[in-house]
Structure 1
C-alpha cells in the first residue's frame, strides 16, 4: 500500500516514514523546497516538492492513505499569521485534496495543545476540551481550529482519525522541538533554574507507532492522546542528570521573572530589531502543568509505552553526535 505523508522531514514525521518503510508501505512525502532533508537521507521515499497551501490532489491520486503530520510550530506572537495560514487553512486544503484524490483514510496529527489543560495538576483525557478562548497562545488555538477542520471533514463523509501527541523524546529532533530544547539547554548548562511545572512525555518511536496503529485500528472521528508518563520538569531534569553525569538545577524560579523577560523581549526589544530569546506564550504555557491520560490509545490501539529513560539517552546521544552540543569532559553518558 502507498501512503502520502506531509511533514516527513520533521521529528515525528521522519520516525513515521522510517516505520512505514519498515512495515512494507511505499511512501510519498510532501516537502517544502526549503526543507532540510537530512532526516530522509538514504530512505526510499518519493519526494513531492510543494506547500500545504498549494498541494494539488493529483499528487495523492496513487496513494491509499494520508498522514497529515506537517504543521507550523512557533510560540512567537509575531508568527500568528503563519500559524493560522499553515495549520488551519493548510489542513483544510490538504483534506480537500485527499477527498478529491479518493484517499481511503487520513490520520491527522493534532496535539494535546488542542485539548488544553485541566485545573492545576489535573490529568485529562480525550473527553476534556478547554474553550478556545482559554487556550494559551496562537499555536494552541491554531491546532484547535485545525482539528475542527478534521472533524468537519468527517462530518462530510471523510474517514479521518485524529491523534494528539504529547511531548515526544528521541533522536532526529532536527529543529529542535520544545522538549528537545529543554534537553539541549540542560546539556549546554544553560538552565541554572527551572520552573515548577510538568508535562506528559513519550518516546518518539511510540508516537510513530501510534500513527500507524491509528490507521489500522482507530475509529473515524475519534481522537487519541499519544502519551505515556506525566513528569514534573524537575523529575525530567533529574533523569537527564543520571544519564549524563551533569548536575541538575536545584532551584526553582518564580514565573513572574521569565514572564517579565519574555514581555520585554517580544514587546520592546523585538520591534527594535533584536531577536527575542524567550517566547511570552511559552512562559505562559509553562505556568501550568499539562498532564494527560493516554489509556484510550493504549487500550484501543495498543500504543506502546517504551522507557522514557532510553528515549532520553537516545536524544542526548543524537544531539551530541550531530554537533548540537559539545561533548564536555564532564558529560559521561552511562551505557
Structure 2
C-alpha cells in the first residue's frame, strides 16, 4: 500500500491542489521545490519540503522511502526565446526524474503531460487519447517539449517502469498563483482588460477534478496508458458569458480578427524583444488560439472515475480566490 508520495511541482496550480488532496486522503507527502520557489501554495500544510532541481544528479536520494511519484513539474512559456529552458526542464528534467525514481525504488509513477502533447483535431474536431498530431505540427516549443517529455515516459515504460500518463486540459479554480493562461483569462475579464475576444475554444475542467484524476490514475490507471483529464468544451465566448453571469459584469461582444494580435505579437517578439523590450504578446500563443482545442475525456471518466464537477463552481472559486488574494481590486470588480 502506498503511504508516502514524492511530488514535483507542488508549488504550482495543479500541484498545489494535488498536494492538498493527498494530505486530505492520508498520504505522507514529500514535495520537491527549487530554492527560489514561492512556497505560498504550500503554507500551513503537513508536507515535508525538500529543496532540489529536476536535473539534480542525486535527486534519487530525496525520493528514498517513497512508494509513488507524481511528476507534475514543468516549465510553461510561449515565448520563443525560452526554447532552451523548455527542453532542459521538460524533456531532460523528466528523463532525470524518471531515472531517479528507478534508482530510488519508486513503485509507481503518475506523469503529468498535457493535452498540448496530443495536439488538436482538424477544424475543431473533438479528439481523444488515440489522436496524435505530428510533432512538427504542434505549435510552439512548449507543446513540442511536452510531446518529447511524454516520449521519455513511454521509453521508461518500455524499460519496465510502472508509469501512468495524465493529460490535463485547461484547469480552473483556486491557487492559480502565477497565473496560468486560463487564470489569466479570468483575471483580465475581472480587471476589465478584455474589450474584445478571439474566436477560439478550449476544454475546461475544475482543477480539483484534475487533482482527483492524478490520484485515481495512481490507484486505477493502466501502465503506459494516457488519460485526458478534461470536462467541457467551450468557445472562449461561452466561458466569458459564464463569467459575466457569475459576476454581473459585461462580457465582450466583439471578436478581434486574428491578423491583429498576430501582427502585434510578431512585432513584439521579432523586432522589439531583440532591442531589449519585454514582449507583451507571445506569437506562439496567438497561433495556438487560432485552433479550437477540444477533447474527449470519457476514457478517464469511464476507467478512472474522473469527476466532472460544474465549471460554474470552478469559475466562482477562481474569482473568489483571485479577489481574496488581492489580484483584483474590489472597487474595480464592483460586483
TM-score (norm 2): 0.98
Q: Which runs of structure 2 are paired with 1:274-313 in the superposition (5 Å)?
A: 274-313=277-316
Match of residue 61, structure 1, among 64, 74, 95 = 64
Counterpart of 1:239 in structure 2 is 242
- Mind listing any 5+ residue stretches in structure 1 that lack a counterpart? none
Name the CA shift for 1:289/1:39 in 2 (closer, same or farther; >3 Å): same
Counterpart of 1:192 in structure 2 is 195
Name the CA shift for 1:32/1:329 in 2 (closer, same or farther; >3 Å): closer
Counterpart of 1:32 in structure 2 is 34
Partner SS, residue 122 of structure 2: coil
Match of residue 133, structure 1, among 136, 156, 162 = 136
Distance 1:212 1:254 in 2: 41
Q: Which runs of structure 2 are paired with 1:14-163 in the superposition (5 Å)?
A: 14-54=16-56, 56-163=59-166
Distance 1:158 1:331 in 2: 53
C-alpha displacement of 1:26:
0.1
Partner SS, residue 107 of structure 1: strand
Distance 1:227 1:329 in 2: 32
Distance 2:116 2:59 in 1: 28
TM-score (norm 1): 0.98
Q: Which runs of structure 2 are paired with 1:145-184 in the superposition (5 Å)?
A: 145-184=148-187
Match of residue 11, structure 2, among 9, 12, 17 = 9
Counterpart of 1:328 in structure 2 is 331
Distance 1:93 1:28 in 2: 18
The reply on whether 1:222 has 2:225 as its aligned counterpart is yes
Counterpart of 1:273 in structure 2 is 276
Distance 2:331 2:175 in 1: 21
Distance 1:180 1:244 in 2: 15
Over residues 73-124 of structure 1, what are the superposed CA-to-partner deviations in whole Å (9 max), with x where a residue is unaligned? 0000010000000000000000000001110000000000000000011000
Distance 1:310 1:65 in 2: 31
Partner SS, residue 238 of structure 1: helix
Q: Which runs of 4+ in 1 moved over 4 A?
A: none
Over residues 136-194 of structure 1, what are the superposed CA-to-partner deviations in whole Å (9 max), with x where a residue is unaligned? 00000000000000000000000000000000000000000000000011111111000
Partner SS, residue 127 of structure 1: coil
Match of residue 260, structure 1, among 263, 268, 289 = 263
Distance 2:124 2:171 in 1: 20
- Mind listing any 5+ residue stretches in structure 2 that lack a counterpart? none
Say whether the 8 Å CA contact 2:5–2:66 is kept in structure 1: yes
Counterpart of 1:207 in structure 2 is 210
Distance 2:188 2:264 in 1: 17
Distance 2:257 2:230 in 1: 28
Distance 2:333 2:43 in 1: 32
C-alpha displacement of 1:328:
2.8
C-alpha displacement of 1:273:
1.0
C-alpha displacement of 1:61:
1.2
Distance 2:120 2:172 in 1: 20
C-alpha displacement of 1:327:
1.4
Name the CA shift for 1:88/1:329 in 2 (closer, same or farther; >3 Å): closer
Distance 2:321 2:149 in 1: 32
Partner SS, residue 32 of structure 2: strand
Deviates more, 1:192-201 or 1:47-56: 47-56
